[in-house]
């Protein structure tokens, strides 16, 4: 069985990896300076010219990029190639306002497929496997990303996409899926649904799961492994960098290997922007050194994690990152959709409601439930129950059309949401998805 998809690079020495990174970084900085106005302006403001970047050691001279930069240049302002060279567009899983729009050239798609093929190979998947992809297809990167990786590896690719659980179970059973890719919460739901449907998963050929796109705990891993009778692996990625395939677990399961010939990872102190040491927590930052259409430089992910350069017993030399341990901002991921409290707040204010609100996220069985509690104004508190219920329903519809998800809405008594002395506690996440 093939242990590595790209053995030369996956097991290269640190010196070799850094040499490749240096060469590619130098080329990439020139590319973005010449082709992306935002980078040219930022570098000019910082007094850095492309020729100042001679190796990896000069990386920290470059300014950071933020999600706000991508919003400000929506939709195509960060594209670094002419549109005629772009062959695919994806967008972030947030459904509201300005999404993050990313582009790929043919070479980018090929590189991305390689990333996903490496990740599949790292957990023992071969061309003899049937890869059941039930990440969503469409603008979300999960479906097509894993699909292309599976295709590149030569597996039988089953493009089931997300949803319709009964049908997923039929496909899994009748088509004989051996590998499953979906969000961990959906994998839990599939496991529960299989049990309810009386399916004995120990009799199915399914053996491996590749789960990511949202935080999940070791407890969830255990539950999934038991209910689906598989080995469950973690994969990490984000739309801005390429989608799935940025980092992945190997069979040793001691962190996720970052595809370092394509992406440079840094861990910074979110306050100072300075590097922290291996093993110390900080914000994860990526630089894309090979992408052509949408190559971000020092992109601040807002995910918190740690890295280690210690060699892994699997033989891979790529640096390993931990599971994300939290966020620098307050982004929530609910049923695979990225959501910011500020988006909820914007709807409330637009509809003339009180800005005193709280979002409570919980998991019932394996399904995320979200409830928005909003304080009534004094005069509203005197409304009849039926009027209050009507207002709650109306707000629910407003959330649905603005955010794409339909939370439970509860109008609560004035002054009943606890006040905080520091930052308001907008989110109560009872799922403890980061294991804390
Ligand atoms: O979730 C890409 C992806 C698809 C990754 C399929 C893995 C599998 P976005 O929708 O842009 O992209 O969301 C990215 O999700 O910044 C993390 O906060 C979170 N995230 C992704 N993978 C993991 C993971 C895709 N394995 C955001 N564990 C990231 C915890 C994850 N959080």
pLDDT tens readout for residues 100-140: 999 999 999 999 999 999 999 999 999 999 999 999 999 99
pLDDT in tens, 412-434: 999 899 877 666 788 999 998 88
* Predicted local distance difference test score (pLDDT) of residue 365: 82
Domain that residue 152 falls in: 1-328
Please report where in the chains the tokens 């919003």 appear, as a residue: 71
* Predicted local distance difference test score (pLDDT) of residue 325: 95
Per-residue pLDDT at 267 exceeds 60: yes
Specify the long-range contacts of residues 348-351, CB closer than 8 Å, at least 24 apart. 348/374, 348/395, 350/398, 351/394, 351/395, 351/398
Specify the long-range contacts of residues 358-361, CB closer than 8 Å, at least 24 apart. 358/417, 358/425, 358/426, 358/427, 358/428, 359/332, 359/407, 359/426, 359/427, 359/428, 360/427, 360/428, 360/430, 361/332, 361/334, 361/427, 361/428, 361/429, 361/430, 361/431
Cis peptide before 8 (omega within 30 of 0): no
* Predicted local distance difference test score (pLDDT) of residue 404: 82
Of 267, 301, 328, the last residue of a domain is: 328
Interval 160-175 mean pLDDT: 96
130 and 118 in a common domain: yes
397 and 268 in a common domain: no
* Predicted local distance difference test score (pLDDT) of residue 124: 98
Instruction: List the residue whose alpha carbon is closest to atom 31 of ligand 1.
Output: 214
* Predicted local distance difference test score (pLDDT) of residue 96: 53
> Does 261 reside within a domain?
yes
Closest atom of ligand 1 to 212 CA is 26
58 and 13 in a common domain: yes
CATH of residue 43's domain is 3.40.50.12780
267 and 227 in a common domain: yes
Q: Best mutation site among 135, 139, 213 for ligand 1, i.e. most ligand atoms within 8 A of its Cβ?
A: 213
Tell me how many domains the chain contains.
2
Ligand 1 centroid to Cα of residue 102, in Å, is: 15
421 and 320 in a common domain: no
Q: How high is the mean pLDDT of the chain?
A: 94
> Does 230 reside within a domain?
yes
345 and 307 in a common domain: no
CATH of residue 391's domain is 3.30.300.30
> Does 342 reside within a domain?
yes
Per-residue pLDDT at 95 exceeds 60: no
283 and 204 in a common domain: yes
Q: Structure tokens of 45?
A: 């403001």
381 and 253 in a common domain: no
Ligand 1 centroid to Cα of residue 53, in Å, is: 30
Closest atom of ligand 1 to 93 CA is 10
Q: Structure tokens of 403?
A: 């955010």
Q: Which residues line ligand 1 (CB under 6 A)?
A: 92-93, 135, 141-142, 212-215, 234-239, 243-244, 301, 303, 323-324, 333, 338
> Does 434 reside within a domain?
no
Instruction: List the residue whose alpha carbon is closest to atom 29 of ligand 1.
Output: 238
The confidence band for 290, taking pLDDT boundaries of 50, 70 and 90, is very high
Ligand 1 centroid to Cα of residue 239, in Å, is: 8
- The sign of the CA dihedral 276, 277, 280, 281 is positive
pLDDT in tens, 334-375: 888 888 888 888 899 889 898 889 999 999 888 899 999 999
User: Comparing 204 with 96, which gets the higher pLDDT?
Assistant: 204
Among the listed ranges 28-32, 111-115, 157-161, 361-365, which one has the minimum average pLDDT value? Answer: 361-365
> Does 435 reside within a domain?
no
Are 240 and 210 in contact by the 8 Å Cβ rule? The answer is: no
Of 261, 294, 328, the last residue of a domain is: 328
How far apart, in whole angstroms, are the C-alpha atoms of residue 292 and residue 109? Answer: 10
408 and 293 in a common domain: no
Of 298, 328, 358, the last residue of a domain is: 328
338 and 321 in a common domain: no
338 and 320 in a common domain: no
pLDDT in tens, 56-79: 999 999 999 999 999 999 999 999
Per-residue pLDDT at 288 exceeds 60: yes
Q: Which run of H or E residues covers position 232? A: strand 231-238
Q: Best mutation site among 119, 236, 246, 255 for ligand 1, i.e. most ligand atoms within 8 A of its Cβ?
A: 236
227 and 376 in a common domain: no
Ligand 1 centroid to Cα of residue 51, in Å, is: 34
Closest atom of ligand 1 to 234 CA is 26
First to last CA, the chain: 38
């Amino acid at each position: 069985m093939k242990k590595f998809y790209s053995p030369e690079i996956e097991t290269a020495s640190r010196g070799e990896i850094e040499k490749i990174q240096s060469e590619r970084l130098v080329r990439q900085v020139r590319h973005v300076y010449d082709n992306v106005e935002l980078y040219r302006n930022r570098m000019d403001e910082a007094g850095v010219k492309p020729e100042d970047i001679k190796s990896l050691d000069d990386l920290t001279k470059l300014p950071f990029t933020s999600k706000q930069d991508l919003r400000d240049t929506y939709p195509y302002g960060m594209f670094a190639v002419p549109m005629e060279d772009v062959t695919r567009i994806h967008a972030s899983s947030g459904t509201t306002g300005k999404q993050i729009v990313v582009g790929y050239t043919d070479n980018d798609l090929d590189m991305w497929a390689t990333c996903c093929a490496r990740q599949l190979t790292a957990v023992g998947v071969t061309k003899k496997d049937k890869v059941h992809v039930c990440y969503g297809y469409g603008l979300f990167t999960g479906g097509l990303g894993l699909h292309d990786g599976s295709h590149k590896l030569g597996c039988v690719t089953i493009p089931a996409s997300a949803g319709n659980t009964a049908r997923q179970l039929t496909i899994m059973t009748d088509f004989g899926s051996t590998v499953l890719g979906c969000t961990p919460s959906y994998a839990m739901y599939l496991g529960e649904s299989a049990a309810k449907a009386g399916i004995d998963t120990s009799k199915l050929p399914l053996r491996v799961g590749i789960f990511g796109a949202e935080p999940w705990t070791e407890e969830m891993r255990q539950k999934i492994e038991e209910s689906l009778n598989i080995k469950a692996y973690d994969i990490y990625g984000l739309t801005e960098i390429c989608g799935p395939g940025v980092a992945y677990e190997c069979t040793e399961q001691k962190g996720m290997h970052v595809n370092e010939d394509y992406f440079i990872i840094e861990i910074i102190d979110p306050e100072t922007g300075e590097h922290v040491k291996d093993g110390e927590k900080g914000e994860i930052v990526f630089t894309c050194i090979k992408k052509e259409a949408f190559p971000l430089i020092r992109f601040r992910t807002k995910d918190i994690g740690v890295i280690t350069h210690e060699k892994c017993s699997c033989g891979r030399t790529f640096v390993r990152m931990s599971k994300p341990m939290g966020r620098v901002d307050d982004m929530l991921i609910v049923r695979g959709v990225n959501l910011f409290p500020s988006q909820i707040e914007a709807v409330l204010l637009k509809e003339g409601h009180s800005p005193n609100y709280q979002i409570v996220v919980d998991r019932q069985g394996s399904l995320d439930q979200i409830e928005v509690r909003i304080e009534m104004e004094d005069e509203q508190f005197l409304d009849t129950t039926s009027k209050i219920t009507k207002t709650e329903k109306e707000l629910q519809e407003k959330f649905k059309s603005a955010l794409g998800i339909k939370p439970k809405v509860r109008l609560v008594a004035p002054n009943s949401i606890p006040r905080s002395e520091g930052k308001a506690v907008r989110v109560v996440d009872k799922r403890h998805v980061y294991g804390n």
